């Protein structure tokens, strides 16, 4: 756990390299410096308004981690070596430093309040490629509870996949596109929807194979099968019309191939999932440090931090 201390003259001399790093990052530094201790090692904490920087030294080299807090003094932004993390109104947003691609994860309750296949919510995983101006949104059916973790078990089979092209980002940060393709999953049970199960099998293997072997054998004795169909339109009651059984049918492998050929992920990256679920080591260390900051720092007299001091210094 991090421990905060006031910076002494001797600390400044010992950590001059770290302090110089802050000046290189910020230019004319107005903020404050503090000494951090963790597991017997010392670091420097720099604070400027609502932005903080943890500066570490090793073998004459300096590395740093930056994070920011919101008006409630809760974590809002955190920098990792490969990406940036931002928390925007319960949506977790990630920006890849190397590619410029953005990713977001959110767990939402269904707008109509009704369960679909026993689920009252969904996970929305969105990806945007600024080079191709394409955006992909994958939804996974999931139970919704405020603050609930996302289960990896429920993010293996998409419920809906949406591709948008010629995407533009408005001044309000909204995504607008001139073209959209939407696909939705439909699951057929050999017990509850034998006709649909048989039709889907015929579309997979053809009528001759179906008549010769039967649908159950052709589907490797799977009692439930899931196929995907392009959404033709959505009714006012939010029913997605696909034209089944007359339109083209896609398998899960087809959907994965569509995503990959456009340069998108099919699964949520594990580290992003860990951050969303609060299981990331750096994330938890920084959250613990923020609690330490609330207890111990007497902030400099700037409008933002004065408000924080009045709120948390007691």
* CA end-to-end distance (rounded Å), the chain: 22
* 11 domain-assigned: yes
Whether the Cβ atoms of residue 19 and residue 12 lie closer than 8 Å to each other: yes
Rounded to whole angstroms, the Cα distance separating 92 from 106 reads 6
pTM: 0.86
CB 102 within 8 A of CB 85: no
CA 272, 274, 277, 279 torsion-angle sign: negative
| pLDDT for residue 314 | 44
- What share of the chain has pLDDT > 70, as a percent? 90
Residue 217, pLDDT above cutoff 50:
yes
Q: How many CA atoms lie within 13 A of 303 on its CB side?
A: 0
CA gap 189, 185 in Å, rounded: 13
The listed range with the strongest mean pLDDT (10-24, 95-109, 288-302) is 95-109
Q: How confident is the model at residue 312 (pLDDT cuts 50, 70, 90)?
A: very low
Asked whether residue 193 is assigned to any structural domain, the reply reads no
**Range of 31's domain?**
1-69+280-314
Q: What angle do CA 278, 126, 134 make, to 5 degrees?
A: 150
- Please count the structural domains in the chain: 1
How would residue 120 be classed by pLDDT, with cut points 50, 70 and 90?
A: confident
| CB-facing half-sphere around the CA of 36: CA atoms within 13 A | 25
* Any domain includes 116: no
6 or 299: which leads in pLDDT: 6
Q: Does 246 score more than 70 pLDDT?
A: yes
What does the pLDDT look like over 43-69, one tens digit per residue? 999 988 899 999 998 888 889 999 999
Q: Per the domain annotation, does 272 fall within a domain?
A: no
Look at residue 295 and tell me if it is in a domain: yes
Residue 267, in any domain of the structure: no
Q: Is 201 within a domain? A: no
What pLDDT score was predicted for residue 175? 73
The number of beta carbons lying within 10 Å of the beta carbon of residue 90 is 10
pLDDT at 208 over 70: yes
Question: Is 114 part of a structural domain of the chain?
Answer: no
Residue-level pLDDT at 303? 46
């Amino acid at each position: 756990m991090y421990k905060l201390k006031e910076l002494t003259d001797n600390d400044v001399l010992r950590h001059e390299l770290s302090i110089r790093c802050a000046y290189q990052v910020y230019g004319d530094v107005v903020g404050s410096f503090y000494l951090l201790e963790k597991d017997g090692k010392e670091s420097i904490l720099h604070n400027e308004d609502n932005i903080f920087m943890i500066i570490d030294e090793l073998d004459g080299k300096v590395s740093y981690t930056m994070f920011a807090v919101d008006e409630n003094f809760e974590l809002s932004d955190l920098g990792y070596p490969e990406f940036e993390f931002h928390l925007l109104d319960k949506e977790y947003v990630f920006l890849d430093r190397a590619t410029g691609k953005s990713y977001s994860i959110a767990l939402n309750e269904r707008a109509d309040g009704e369960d679909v296949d026993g689920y009252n919510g969904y996970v929305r995983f969105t990806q945007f490629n600024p080079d191709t101006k394409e955006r992909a949104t994958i939804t996974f059916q999931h139970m919704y509870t405020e603050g609930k973790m996302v289960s990896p078990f429920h993010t293996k089979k998409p419920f809906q996949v949406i591709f948008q092209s010629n995407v533009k980002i408005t001044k309000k940060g909204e995504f607008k596109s001139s073209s959209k393709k939407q696909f939705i999953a439909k699951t057929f049970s050999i017990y509850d929807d034998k006709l649909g199960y048989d039709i889907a099998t015929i579309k997979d293997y053809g009528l001759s194979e179906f008549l010769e072997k039967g649908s159950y054998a052709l589907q490797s004795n799977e009692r439930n099968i899931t196929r995907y169909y392009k959404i033709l339109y959505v009714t006012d009651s939010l029913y997605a019309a696909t034209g089944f059984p007359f339109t083209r049918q896609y398998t899960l492998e087809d959907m994965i191939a569509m995503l990959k050929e456009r340069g998108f992920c099919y699964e949520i990256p594990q580290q992003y999932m860990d951050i969303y679920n609060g299981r990331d080591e750096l994330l938890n260390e920084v959250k613990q440090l923020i609690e330490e900051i609330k207890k111990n720092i007497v902030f400099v007299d700037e409008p933002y931090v004065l408000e924080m001091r009045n709120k948390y210094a007691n």
